[in-house]
Structure 1
Amino acid sequence: MAAFGHTFPFYAGPKSTFPMDTTLVTIIIIFLTALITFIVILPGIRGKMRLFWLLRVVTSLFIGAVILAVNFSSEWSVGQVSTNTSYKAFSSEWISADIGLQVGLRGINITLTGTPVQQLNETINYNEEFTWCLGTNYAVEYAKALEKGLPDPVLYLAEKFTPRSPCGLHRQYRLAGHYASATLWVAFLCWLLANVMFSMPVLVYGGYMLLATGIFQLLALFFFSMTTSLTSPCPLRLGTAVLHTHHGPAFWITLTTGLLCVLLGLTMAVVHRMQPHRLKAFFNQSTEEDPMLERSPEEGGLLSPRYRSMAESPEPQNIPLSENPSTQAYCKEEYLGEPDCAL
């Protein structure tokens, strides 16, 4: 095979690649389906409440989708370089390719795309994933990559993240991924509780849970940044170039969403304190209050009973009772001398 096919027998052909992570596609489809469902029932809402309701639904679904998507995303730390590098082991032939590295909370993703794609009578288009999440062993996955005979650039980057590598990238990114992922799951739980409270007459507590959602997202960013900066960066030399990594789209969209949740939570708390009736109107809740109740500022706006004084109480009305005509006639006949007849 090596003599007639001009290729080594342990190199498998490049597998087909999907332009996007299937997990992210599933999350996006679920939330888009929910959004379309809410839009279908939108005409049943009348007046300006339709706009308020649509704004609430879109904002809430966006926050929930971001929290789930970034948790499974592989673009927390990314880097890409165009270089000339060796392609296979035991071969002196070089290729021109774009090499990309995406580091997520559960592993790394390495891409190798030739420029042009067709070189050395082969299609150079690889997209390989190596995970370190619970239930997987990164060293075993790297050993399987060696058995498959993946190209040199892919194996070189994957080797830098092995547990025995002197760079120490495996330990720091694995710890960062575990802490950040756990914090994002707590943020997702707070988002669910916020939506439940928004459907009940406890809007201020829903705002507090939305504030907690943003705080936990910012904590996830803090854990990821702090843990990945504990050790000095390891140089990743690929041929004639050096690959440098930086924060990716998942990091920045998490930062934006976290700040948005904090801003919305603080705004709801302030509006509930200053103008609670406007907050109720925005969430399509009744603003009418019982005339026997009034708000007590000492109790944080809770309702307390207020009893009417004697001056405010309406005068009792004397409603005459209906009398039986036969009784009236009997009284007139038997007791003509008495002023009245009481039974």
Structure 2
Amino acid sequence: MAAFGRTFPFYTGPKPTFPMDTTSAVIIIIFLTALVTFIVILPGIRGKMRLFWLLRVVTSLFIGAVILAVNFSSEWSVGQVNTNTSYKAFSSSWISADIGLQVGLGGVNITITGTPVQQLNETINYNEEFIWRLGENYAEEYAKALEKGLPDPVLYLAEKFTPRSPCGLHRQYRLAGHYASATLWVAFLCWLLTNVMFSMPVLVYGGHMLLATGIFQLLALLFFSVGTSLTPPCPLRLGTAVLLTHHGPAFWITLITGLLCVLLGLAMGVAHRMQPHRVKAFFNQSVEEDHMLDWSPEEGGVLSPRYRSMADSPEPQDIPLSEAASPEPCCKEEHCGESGCAL
């Protein structure tokens, strides 16, 4: 290291950064491509059904994209502070930087950007991720960060989330992230079933699954909030300031989407009870498609199906036979003896 003329210890160059999370960017691009595809075929739909169809597609794609994106997002709990702090180990040099912390369901992301970026003859712009998802070892990633010689603020924050840290952040955030992620995957499955049922003449069950989609999203928020509040907050002191965390954009957009799904599911059930024909018209379904299934609000509540009984079926009609086929008496009673017809 001394041969390269570097200050001990030797730091590798900062990694190139991307403006946003690459996984979230891929998910957004996929759903935007699907939306553009549906918009291309939109002119083939006639009348006011074009607007109804576009509204359904946009709402459904938005809900699906949010469920997937927040599952991989690192902005469930965020914090940022501008402070003067040490930059390298065994060095008295201090820097002024913006330090950010983003905690997701599968790991933690730490950023440090100098203000200005060029300080101490270096470009101070780091974005480091430490993962604790299934199959990943957080302690090994932290050990590799020590070997690489990352800046002091990054190592300090990453050390707070190690399994052996007295703060206990690793256990509470890891468990909360696992349960919340599993619940969001169930919500995504309910979203898929919702789209399948809305494309079939079982709209009431589609409303059921849409309601379940919202409920599982709200359960994911509950698991994350309860899991991250089991222990008192650990102070994160960086130089002359203290880094405080709060719920991030992923948390709030999940809350909004979950409430939207719950309201739409309830509205679907009420509308199916009050105006079933308008609901079928909104989903471009004719009444003849489900003539064998009669939805009765009187029996079984709002969303209970009832098949027609034999009493509700139309009465059978007696079809008279034609005159040629119906036999006539060969003679009347008073003339039977004269004509000699056989009985």
User: How does the TM-score come out when normalised to structure 1?
Assistant: 0.88
Q: Distance in 2 between matches of 1:289 and 1:40?
A: 27
Matched pairs, number: 321
Cross-structure match for 2:299: 298
| Secondary structure, counterpart of 2:204 in structure 1 | helix
Cross-structure match for 1:64: 64
Task: Select between 5-14 and 131-140 the one with higher mean Cα deviation.
Answer: 5-14
Cross-structure match for 2:179: 179
Alignment CA distance shift 1:231-1:147 (3 Å):
same
**Maintained 8 Å contact 2:9/2:89:** no
**Maintained 8 Å contact 2:293/2:306:** no
Cross-structure match for 2:328: none
CA-to-aligned-CA distance 1:244-277 (integer Å, 9 cap, x gap): 0000000000000000000000011111111111
Amino acid at match of 2:174: R
**Maintained 8 Å contact 2:8/2:90:** no
After superposition, where does 1:142-157 map in structure 2 within 5 Å?
A: 142-157=142-157
Amino acid at match of 2:110: I
**Maintained 8 Å contact 2:112/2:125:** yes
Cross-structure match for 1:283: 283
Alignment CA distance shift 1:319-1:293 (3 Å):
farther
Unmatched segments (≥5 aa) in structure 2: 326-338
Task: Select between 139-148 and 9-18 the one with higher mean Cα deviation.
Answer: 9-18
CA-to-aligned-CA distance 1:168-196 (integer Å, 9 cap, x gap): 00000000000000000000001011111
Cross-structure match for 1:333: none
**Maintained 8 Å contact 2:81/2:241:** yes
| Secondary structure, counterpart of 1:8 in structure 2 | coil
Unmatched segments (≥5 aa) in structure 1: 323-338
In the TM superposition, residue 43 of structure 1 has moved relative to its aligned partner by: 0.5
| Secondary structure, counterpart of 2:115 in structure 1 | strand
Alignment CA distance shift 1:168-1:216 (3 Å):
same
Cross-structure match for 2:334: none
After superposition, where does 1:179-198 map in structure 2 within 5 Å?
A: 179-198=179-198
**Maintained 8 Å contact 1:295/1:304:** no
**Maintained 8 Å contact 1:163/1:171:** yes
In the TM superposition, residue 318 of structure 1 has moved relative to its aligned partner by: 7.0
Cross-structure match for 1:43: 43
**Maintained 8 Å contact 1:78/1:101:** yes
Matched, 1:12 2:6: no
Cross-structure match for 2:54: 54
Give the % identical residues. 83
Amino acid at match of 1:302: R
In the TM superposition, residue 233 of structure 1 has moved relative to its aligned partner by: 0.3
**Maintained 8 Å contact 1:10/1:147:** no
Cross-structure match for 2:95: 95
Cross-structure match for 1:218: 218
| Secondary structure, counterpart of 1:5 in structure 2 | coil
Q: Distance in 1 between matches of 2:294 and 2:230?
A: 56
Note the aligned Cα RMSD (angstroms). 2.3
In the TM superposition, residue 317 of structure 1 has moved relative to its aligned partner by: 6.8
User: How does the TM-score come out when normalised to structure 2?
Assistant: 0.88
Q: Distance in 2 between matches of 1:290 and 1:120?
A: 74
